[in-house]
Amino acid sequence: MFKKVLIANRGEIAVRIIRACRELGVRTVAVFSEPDREALHAMIADEAVCIGPAKSADSYLNIKAILAACELTGAEAVHPGFGFLSENAGFAKMCARCGVAFIGPSPEAMTLMGDKATAKQTMKKAGVPVVPGSDGLIGSVEEAKALAEQIGYPVMVKASAGGGGRGIRRVDRPEDLEDAIVTARREAKSFFGDDGVYLEKFIVDPRHVEIQLLADKYGNTVYLGERDCSLQRRNQKMVEECPCPVMTPALRARVGEAAVRAAKACGYENAGTVEFLLSGDQFYFMEMNTRIQVEHPVTEFVTGVDLVKMQIRIAAGEELPFKQEDIHMTGHAIECRINAENPAQGFRPSPGKITALHMPGGPGIRIDTAVYSGYEITPYYDSMIAKLIAYAPTREEALKKMNWALAEFLVEGVDTNIDFQLKLLRDPDVEAASYDIGFLGRNLGRLTKG
């Protein structure tokens, strides 16, 4: 086991990793930007190193500064959390060159799965169902038009190196395809430095379901059930639950086994998720996220497996302590992302100082957060305040628990989406689990009214 781990991240995920390391008897090093000098992760780690000014490119994305912090403190490994450098193959390679273990997959696996067009081809070869579309990047508008006519509208134009909802355009009519390709390419180039795009069939009214995986260095790979992430706005998840309300044991086995094939096809190690579109009893590969997900706590509640501790154990060379038949799902968990934003004003971020704070508690309630009363939410990073998770024996009970937990959650000094989350979870269709990935897009107007 490692003696010291550096966490190359901030906020609640950095705090989460620090606590996992403490349980494993591992010392921790936090890195922080100048505005994060009084951030919780910087205060509770065993050591903390300032790595630059506010701008992410000069701090949390500053590979040289992070590796220098490893050298300075003697950290043997780096945990990247999610976001920032977590899926940066170049960073993982630099860690290896510097003799620092990267707590995540190999650079080769990240590169393979990070390019969505290449990943799709890899999945097809592995026998994983994929959405009909181009075999690789779109070469010309004429080629795209011919393919769209073949697979049928609507279609999606997607950035090959994309993520977070960037570089994605839905096209319902042939006359709109060229503009969508131009726009998607421009956005992809701006955000990812790569303007490659591909085309695929748009599956109408599917659910977004992701399978959680763990894979060690010895060829052992298991899936830990699924999470339903269909309640999302502009491809950004807002509420997640485990298990998926419409999943059957037989379908779960089919999707889970496909996810394992996907992981083995790219030589994947550590914790990751394979994301699918689910339509009836059919499912299609979307992408693989090669790092821990924001919504991992719901899986931890339902399976009893600490995913972050398993990440560290795997990276340290340990074998998975269980097999597929040892994984059991019990109960139901729901996660709401509590953000400093104003839903009535287009979810505009609301930076500022938290002047009063009360968080709910009790059996089956978990809060992952890095804020405190007096904490300053800066405009430099994401607006997440906390992740609120409710767990109960049934979905109905978990919803009730989440409702009263949201009602008790008090944050003053900044706007939040707490009331919006309450209204969303009290919607009859959500209560009945009758929703898909288009639900929020269709209903956002009424949900954000007064």
Are 11 and 91 within one domain? Answer: yes
Read off the CATH number of the domain in which 146 is found.
Answer: 3.30.1490.20
| Residue where a domain terminates, one of 181, 201, 221 | 201
Tell me the C-alpha distance between 81 and 384, whole Å. 15
% of the chain exceeding 70 in pLDDT: 99
Q: Rounded to the nearest 10 degrees, how much is the dihedral formed by the CA atoms of 14, 17, 18, 22?
A: 180
184 or 235: which leads in pLDDT: 184
pLDDT digits (tens, 9 = 90+) for 81-113: 999 999 999 999 999 999 999 999 999 999 988
Tell me the C-alpha distance between 162 and 287, whole Å. 10
Tell me the C-alpha distance between 11 and 17, whole Å. 10
271 found inside a domain: yes
What confidence score (pLDDT) does residue 236 get?
Answer: 87
**DSSP state letters, 212-239:** EEEE-TTS-EEEEEEEEEEEEETTEEEE
Are 216 and 357 within one domain? Answer: yes
SS (H, E, C) 11-34: HHHHHHHHHHHHHCCCEEEEEEEH
| pLDDT band with cut points at 50, 70 and 90 for residue 163 | low
420 found inside a domain: yes
Q: How many structural domains is the chain composed of? A: 3
Q: What is the DSSP letter of 321?
A: S
pLDDT digits (tens, 9 = 90+) for 242-259: 999 999 999 999 999 999
Give the helix ranges, DSSP H, for 152-248.
177-192
Those residues whose C-beta lies under 8 Å from the C-beta of residue 12, and which sit 6 or more positions away, are 368, 369, 370, 384, 386, 387
Are 158 and 219 within one domain? Answer: no
119 found inside a domain: no
| pLDDT band with cut points at 50, 70 and 90 for residue 190 | confident
Average pLDDT over residues 299-321: 98
Read off the CATH number of the domain in which 342 is found.
Answer: 3.30.470.20
Range from 118-122, 152-156, 253-257, 304-308 carrying the lowest mean pLDDT: 118-122
What confidence score (pLDDT) does residue 192 get?
Answer: 80
| pLDDT band with cut points at 50, 70 and 90 for residue 450 | low
pLDDT digits (tens, 9 = 90+) for 386-408: 999 999 999 999 999 999 999 99
Q: Rounded to a whole number, what is the distance in angstroms from the first to the last CA of the chain?
A: 53
Are 279 and 389 within one domain? Answer: yes
Angle at 260 between CA 115 and CA 250, to 5 degrees: 125
Q: Are 263 and 221 in contact (CB under 8 A)?
A: yes
Tell me the C-alpha distance between 276 and 302, whole Å. 20
Instruction: Reply yes or no on whether 291 is catalytic.
Output: yes
116 found inside a domain: no
**Residue 33, burial from CB neighbour count under 10 angstroms (0-12, 13-18, 19+):** buried
pLDDT digits (tens, 9 = 90+) for 112-123: 887 777 888 889
350 found inside a domain: yes
111 found inside a domain: no
Are 143 and 20 within one domain? Answer: no
Are 423 and 300 within one domain? Answer: yes
Tell me the C-alpha distance between 17 and 321, whole Å. 20
Backbone angles phi, psi at 174, to 5 degrees: -55, -35
- Specify the 3-state DSSP secondary structure of 266: coil
Q: Are 92 and 104 in contact (CB under 8 A)?
A: yes
21 found inside a domain: yes
pLDDT digits (tens, 9 = 90+) for 196-216: 999 989 988 899 999 999 999
Are 291 and 167 within one domain? Answer: no
Q: How many other C-beta atoms can be found within 10 angstroms of the C-beta atom of residue 67? A: 20
Are 92 and 233 within one domain? Answer: no
Backbone angles phi, psi at 25, to 5 degrees: 75, 25
pLDDT digits (tens, 9 = 90+) for 19-43: 999 999 999 999 999 999 999 999 9
Give the helix ranges, DSSP H, for 193-293.
249-265
Tell me the C-alpha distance between 86 and 189, whole Å. 20
Distances (CA, A) of 179 to 100, 141, 186: 45, 10, 11
Backbone angles phi, psi at 117, to 5 degrees: -65, -45
The kind and range of the H/E element at 118 are helix 116-125
Asked whether the predicted pLDDT for residue 165 surpasses 80, the reply is no
From the list 169, 291, 313, 337, the catalytic residue is 291
**Can you give the residue range of the structural domain that contains 8?**
4-103
| Residue where a domain terminates, one of 52, 85, 103 | 103
| Residue where a domain terminates, one of 201, 225, 258 | 201
Give the pTM: 0.89
Q: How many other C-beta atoms can be found within 10 angstroms of the C-beta atom of residue 426? A: 12
Are 218 and 255 within one domain? Answer: yes
115 found inside a domain: no
pLDDT digits (tens, 9 = 90+) for 269-297: 999 999 999 999 999 998 898 899 999 99
What confidence score (pLDDT) does residue 62 get?
Answer: 97
**DSSP state letters, 83-100:** STTTT-HHHHHHHHHTT-
Are 58 and 149 within one domain? Answer: no
What confidence score (pLDDT) does residue 98 get?
Answer: 96
Average pLDDT of the chain is: 94
Are 166 and 230 within one domain? Answer: no
Tell me the C-alpha distance between 366 and 363, whole Å. 9
Are 185 and 212 within one domain? Answer: no
Tell me the C-alpha distance between 81 and 77, whole Å. 13
Read off the CATH number of the domain in which 71 is found.
Answer: 3.40.50.20
